[in-house]
Structure 1
Amino acid sequence: MAERVLITGGAGFIGLHLTRRLLAEGARITLVDDFSRGRRDDALRDIEGEVEVVRHDLTRQIPDGLLPGDFDAVYHLAAAVGVQQVTRDPGHVLRTNILAATHLLDWCDRTGPGAVFLSSTSEFADGAAQLGAAPLPTPENAPFVLTRPHSARSSYALSKAVAELMLLQRASSTRVRIGRYYNIYGPRMGNAHVIPQFIERVVKGVHPFTVYGGDQTRAFCYVDDAVDATVRLMRLPTDAPLVVNIGNDQEELAMTELARRLLALAGARPELDVRDAPENSPARRLPDLTTLRRLLPDWRPMDLDSGLRAMLDWYGVPLATPSPEASR
C-alpha cells in the first residue's frame, strides 16, 4: 500500500524536493501551504497533477475535514524563515512559527499520524557554541542559549526551540523526529541565502564582488542529501524520539573561499570586497554528525564543488572549461 504523506510548507524549498523524492517512491502526498513564501512556479505545476494541494494558513486552526486523517507520515516544514524576514519582523516570525506548530500538533492529537518530523535549525545551538558552552562541531545536546535575547535575529531560534519542546512533550502516541538543518542549499531555494546571492552577483557581473563576513565559516549540505537523511530518519523503526543534526561536517570553509570557489567554477575573476558580517551572525557553525552517522552509517553528503556546479547549471550559468594544466 502506498505511503500516505502530509507535507506542510510543501511548495517551499526543501518541501518540494522532499515531495519529488517521495513521489518517485510511489507515495500519496498532500501538500499544505499558504504560498506566502512557496510559489506556484513551473516546478510546482509540474507535479500538481500528482499531489493534492491544500491552501491553508497554519496560524489558523486546521478545521475538521480539511485534510484526511490517515497519514503515515507528517513532515512539518512550514515556517517563516530567512535572515531578512527575521530581522525585519521578528514578531511575525515568532507568531507564525509557534502558532503553526501548535495548530499542527492540535490536528495530530485528533488524527494520530504514524510519525511527525519537525524541521528545526542549527541556530538552536549557535548561542551555546558562541559562548563556549558547547563544542564545535556542535552536538544535539548543546544547551539552548540566546546570547542576545532582545535581538530580532533571536526570534527564529526561539520559535524553533518552542516548537521542538512542544513536539517532544505532546506527541505521545506517534513517532517523533526533529531534524536540525545546517546550511542546506540547492536549486529553487530563493535569494535570501548566501549561495544564491553569490550566484546572482556572478550573473550580474558585479565587480568588485561583495562578501559579508569573509572570515566566517560554514559547511554546506546539498538539499538532496538533506532530504535523503530526513526520509530515512522518519522510516527508522524505533519509537524513541530522535533529535538529529542534518548537514555537512567535512567541508567547512570561509565565506571568502566559498566566493572564490564559485567564481572559479563560473570562470569569473572579480576582486573581492570583504565587509563586516551581519549583526548577530555566528563566526563559525559546524554540526556534529555522530548521531546521524550512527543511525544512517552509509549516508554520505555530496562534495561542495559538485553541488555548486548543480546550482550554477540551474541558474543557467556556463561552467568554466578547465585548462589543460588543471586537468593533468
Structure 2
Amino acid sequence: MYNYIEYGGEEKSSEFVDDQEKYDQFMARIEAGEKIEPDDWMPDDYRQALIKLISMHGISEIMGALPEKEWTPKAPTLKRKLGIMAKVQDEMGHGQLLLRVAEDLMKPYGKDRGDIMEDLLSGDLKFHNVFHMPTKTWADAGMVGWLVDGAAIISQTNMLDASYGPYQRALQRICQEEVFHAQHGEAIIMALAEGTDYQREILQNSLNRWWPSLLMFFGPASADTTGSSKQDIMIKYKIRKSSNEELRQAFLDKYLPRVFSLGLTVPDETVHYDEERGQWNYQQPDWNEFKQIIKNKGPRSKERLRLREIAYENNRWVRQALAADKVGS
C-alpha cells in the first residue's frame, strides 16, 4: 500500500516515509471531519473502496429504474403514470450524477464512465440484489417505492456525512429526492391497502415476494457470511457510520410497525421484537441465494442487462461523435 521497501531489515525508503507521512495527515483530516476532494492525496484502498461503492450505487440507480419502467405504460391512472415516469427520470439522473463522481476517482487508472458500463455488461460490476427481481403486479411498483426506496434512504442517510466530499454532496441531493420517491410508493401502497379484497391480496403477495430481498438489501452482517463485505474499511475511513446489521435493524424499526398497522404480515413466523436485546429477531435470508443473484443469476438479471446492452450499443454513435469533437477541439 505504501511502496514499502526495507534495506537490511532496518532502513526504509524515503518514498515509504513520504507516503506514511501523507497517510498520517490524511487520517488526521478524516478524524477532524474534513472532506477529501478529487485532487487530494488519498491511499489506494480508500480510492478503491469509493470506486466500488459509488460505481455500484450509480449503476444500481440506473438498473433500479427498469423494474418500475416496466409498469409505466400499465399504471392504472394518468396521475400514477406521471408519478412513476418522474421517478424513473430521477433515478436515471441519480445514476448519471454518481457515475461522474466515480469517473473522477478513476482518472488515475485511465478509466472513465464507459469502463463502468462495460464492467456492468461483462459481469465485473454488480448491481443491487433487489433490482434483479421481477415486478409482477402494480403492487410491486408500490413496494419498490415504499420499502426498497425506504431501505435506500436508510442506507444513504448513513453516508450523508461521508468523508469524500463529491459523494457527500451528491447524496444530499439524492436523499432529498428519494424521500419523494418513498412517498410516491407509500401512496400506492395505502390505496391498495384501503381497496378491494383483490387489491389487498396482491399487496400481501407482493410483500411476501419482496421480503427476502429487503432483508438482503443491506448485505450480510459480517464478512464471515460471504467473505466479501467491505463495511469495515468504509467505517474506518468514515465513508459510512453504521454496520450492515445496524442498518437492517433501523429498517425493521421503521417499517415493521407500519406494515403491521396496515393489517399486513411478513412471511417469517420468527419475527418479533426482543425487549431484552432491544432489537427485532428475524430469520436470516438465504445468503447463498444472495451471492447467486448478485452474480447476475437472479430472476430478471439477463433481461435487464440485455436492455442496458441494447441501449449502450444504440447510443454508441453519440459517444463516438462526442469523442471526435473532443479530439477536434
- Give the alignment's TM-score, normalised by structure 2: 0.28
- Give the alignment's TM-score, normalised by structure 1: 0.28
More strand by percentage: 1
User: In terms of Rg, which structure is larger?
Assistant: 2
